[in-house]
Amino acid sequence: MKVVLALAAGYMIGARTGSEHFDDILRSLRAVRDSEEFQELIVNIRSHAGSTLRELAALVEHPSDAAGGDATISGDLVARVRDLAGLR
């Protein structure tokens, strides 16, 4: 699905700008991608995602610690996630 969207976006940009401006757009995108600010954004996103995944893993591994001592959470992973999300 992402590939189709990327192809459609590329076609739309190319059709609107013409081939002479397409190289300018690519240079601009590369400049953004290579900028220090963008690299810092990527590092921060990865850090946040890693932290979130570690917290989620801790919740799944030790649900009684996160649920205020509720030791009734047991069984499979789906049941644990439902309990943590309050879907039961």
Domain range holding 86?
37-88
Domain count for the chain, please give it.
2
The half-sphere exposure of 43 on its side-chain side, counting CA atoms within 13 A, is: 6
Whether residue 85 is found in the same domain as residue 47: yes
Q: What integer pLDDT is reported at residue 58 of this predicted model?
A: 82
Contact 80, 73 (CB under 8 A): yes
Q: What integer pLDDT is reported at residue 71 of this predicted model?
A: 44
Q: What integer pLDDT is reported at residue 64 of this predicted model?
A: 64
Whether residue 64 is found in the same domain as residue 27: no
pTM, entire model: 0.49
Whether residue 52 is found in the same domain as residue 87: yes
Q: What integer pLDDT is reported at residue 38 of this predicted model?
A: 92
Contact 73, 67 (CB under 8 A): yes
pLDDT string in tens for the chain (88-residue length)? 777 788 788 777 776 666 667 778 788 889 999 999 999 999 999 999 998 888 888 877 776 665 554 444 445 777 777 777 776 5
